[in-house]
Amino acid sequence: MATLRYGSTMSFASIVGHESVISGLRTSYEKARVSHAYLFRGPAGVGKKRLAMAFAQLLNCENPSVGPDACGQCRPCRLLQDERHPDLNVIEPDGQFIKIDTIRNIHKSLRFKPVAGKWRITLIHQADRLHEAAANALLKTLEEPPQRNVFLLNTAKPHAVLATIRSRCQQVRCSSLNETLVAKWLIATHGTDPQQAAESAALSWGSIGRAEEFIDPERIALRDHWIGFLQKSAAMSSQQLMDSAQELASDRAQIQPVLNILRLAFRDVVIRAATGSIGHCSFSKESRMLPSMPVDNGLQALHLIDQSEEALLGNTNARLAMEHLLLSLRRQIQHGKTHSVAR
């Protein structure tokens, strides 16, 4: 079962940002123009599932408040919040894909009216990972949707979703949240120190859930470890770098946070090289410890990080991708030092 990290309810009122998206969903509810399928699309971690679940809660709420919004207190609201509502189907990848048997099982239940609610809700998380056969099976259902059924799909990779599925869904575009808004949330909700809140918001890339992770002591330790790594990397042997790459690749869940840290670190390197100041750096204190290098080398390092991220999305071997990245970053740092000495 997936976890919604921030807040205690799933009402629209509990969601930070996404005002235009919420307004559109409320209008479709008020005017009784609920579509049979919605595709929530946008960057990872910005709250697509939370928006979908808030909409599902509103559709089945017994006592919607002015707004409109789900009350969060009635039985359907509580059951949906706990993902225990009999008319809620939550589909997520089983391994690498969402498989056809999962879609077939859902399809069987659609022949009947909702058991306890006004609408039966089928939430498909990471819809881009529908197996081809599963996607085609879902398409048939979307072409002839049963009454009182709403499909809520979400994805960070909309172009990986079958085009014919996209065309049968109402598109709900979710943008990254403003870093200032994320920082204010951390201060108001967790009492986070303003400087730490600003750094965590920068690391989050517009995601409150991810920002909350970066005020966690373990994530702070991760940041410090990799900034220390960059300090030492120019003098490290190739074998030491490959050992570090293997250790990172052994826990794939850590790779994206580390890539985010490296990206922000080299962004700080570029800012410092271009302006001579750390005033706009993400890591205000730690940026002084980062290697000095020309803007071009810093930009090339950022390009290498982006390339590695894209390669991993294409199922490239994680260890090889991280080895290539760390060795290449060392080369840029060494070139930057050589350039600085020459000057």
Structure tokens at 339: 């350039």
Note whether 290 and 265 are within 8 A (CB).
yes
What is the pLDDT of the chain when averaged over all its residues? 88
Residue 5: pLDDT band (50, 70, 90) is very low
Q: Which residues contact 287 (CB under 8 A, 6 or more apart)?
A: 265, 268, 269, 272, 278, 281
Percentage above 70 pLDDT, the chain: 95
CA 297 → CA 132, 136, 301, distances in Å? 42, 46, 6
Neighbours of 251 (CB within 10 A): 10
Q: Look at the alpha carbons of 270, 271, 273, 274 in this order and tell me if their dihedral is positive or negative.
A: positive
On whether the pTM is more than 0.85, the answer is: no
pLDDT digits (tens, 9 = 90+) for 118-137: 999 999 999 999 999 999 99
Q: Look at the alpha carbons of 62, 63, 69, 75 in this order and tell me if their dihedral is positive or negative.
A: negative
Residue 2: pLDDT band (50, 70, 90) is very low
Give the chain's domains with CATH numbers.
12-173 (3.40.50.300), 216-342 (1.20.272)
Q: Which residues contact 333 (CB under 8 A, 6 or more apart)?
A: 230, 233, 234, 291, 293, 297, 301
DSSP state of 69: B
53: closest CA among 128, 3, 113? 3
Residue 284: pLDDT band (50, 70, 90) is low
pLDDT digits (tens, 9 = 90+) for 50-85: 899 999 999 999 999 988 999 999 999 999 989 999
